Amino acid sequence: MKEKFELEYLLKTSIRVLDNMIGSPSGLSEWFADNVTVRDDIYSFEWDGSIEEARLIQRKMNSKMKFKWLDDEENGDDYYFEINFEVDSMTSTVSLNVVDFAEPGEIESAKMLWEQQINDLKRIIGA
């Protein structure tokens, strides 16, 4: 059974830039996967020639993208991954949160993978 984990990152960027990087296939292709395409509500994420598909289950402009891998859907699992963000009105710092699930023995490597991807995102947006 997979376990839920959450990560938080503080970024210096605008919500508009971040929403484009998280909310569009072209933005996601710059940091999250090698290539991202979308058809209806199914996103295809390509890494090293291998494609994983996920259904977009929630999209809130300027705050959230939530996906469910089709493999988990077929198995009836309640696992998902979510990227959400909000701005601190006092400091203008953006808090980016990641919610994901992994097998107990794979949580550390999953966190390291997210860390690497978020570092790519930070580098691209200059945060």
* Residue-range domain boundaries for the chain: 3-125
Instruction: Determine the Cα–Cα distance for residues 72 and 57; give it in Å rounded to an integer.
Output: 13
Q: In the predicted model, what is the mean pLDDT of residues 9-26?
A: 93
Q: What is the pLDDT of residue 90?
A: 87
Q: State the pLDDT at residue 51.
A: 97
Query: What is the tens place of the pLDDT at every residue in 36-91?
Result: 999 999 999 999 999 999 999 999 999 999 999 999 888 888 899 999 999 988 88
Stretch 107-126: mean pLDDT: 96
Vertex 28 angle, CA 81 and 103, to 5°: 30
Please compute the mean of the pLDDT values over residues 12-22 and round it to a whole number: 91
Nearest to 68 by CA among 83, 57, 52, 84: 57
C-beta atoms surrounding 89 within 10 Å: 7
- pTM of the model as a whole: 0.91
How confident is the model at residue 127, as a pLDDT?
A: 76
* Beta-bridge partners for 67: 56, 81
pLDDT tens digits, 67-82: 999 998 888 888 999 9
pLDDT at 9 over 80: yes
Cα 53 to Cα 13, 80, 82, 127, distances in angstroms: 29, 12, 15, 29
User: How many percent of the chain have pLDDT more than 90?
Assistant: 81
Task: Name the CATH architecture for the domain at 3-125.
Answer: 2-Layer Sandwich (3.30)
d(CA 28, CA 21) in angstroms, rounded, equals: 6
